Amino acid sequence: MRKLLTLAALTAAGVTATGPAFAASGPFFSLHNTNFIVTLAFILFIVVLFYFKVPSMLGGMLDKRAEGIQSELDEARSLREEAQTVLASYERKQKEVQEQANRIVEHAKAEAATAAELAKEELKASIARRLAAAEDQIASAQASAVKEVRDQAIVVAIGAARDVIAKKMSAADGNKLIDAGIAEVEAKLH
């Protein structure tokens, strides 16, 4: 307040110090002098401002504004800290998820390698079974061919023996052989 009064006094002194070139006609402390009227109006304006406590109201408003700004800064600081906490939490979760994904990938690779080994073993076993089946088929075909050859040889030998026997055997000897065969069959059947 003292600063404002000092400022008003200096202004009033400055108005008087400007000299008569700027002043209206007549003495300075006259109501006809515009400089004096302006100085009085200014001083009255300052007094009215102080009477209605405008500087303290302005100071209070500025203090409220400063408190509002400080509270907004505090809130922004707390929000920033909360955001950093959330960010750290998400980064930690991301790291955990990445580690879990890496473990899943490693597990999948291990399972794939195991499955590949099992598939190789099953393929080897399948090939071995097929080879054994092929060898069995070959042996069976070979046995069948040998049997056919034997059967054919028997048929040929029987035919040759019949021809030889037919040429060398008489009818009486043939009848004796037939009777002996019938008797042998009857003995085995009864």
Residues 76 and 82: their CA atoms lie apart, in Å, by: 10
Domain assignment present for 31: yes
CB-based burial, 82-121: b 16+ in 10 Å, e otherwise: eeeeeeeeeeeeeeeeeeeeeeeeeeeeeeeeeeeeeeee
Question: Of 114, 125, 4, nearest to 59 (Cα)?
Answer: 4
Domain span at 84: 2-88
How many separate helices (H) and strands (E) can be counted in the chain?
4, 0
pTM above 0.85, yes or no: no
Count of the separate structural domains present in the chain: 1
9 band by pLDDT with thresholds 50, 70 and 90: low
Domain assignment present for 179: no
Report pLDDT digits (tens) over 121-168: 999 999 999 999 999 999 999 998 888 888 888 888 888 877 877 777
15 band by pLDDT with thresholds 50, 70 and 90: very low
Asked whether residue 23 carries a pLDDT value surpassing 50, the answer given is no
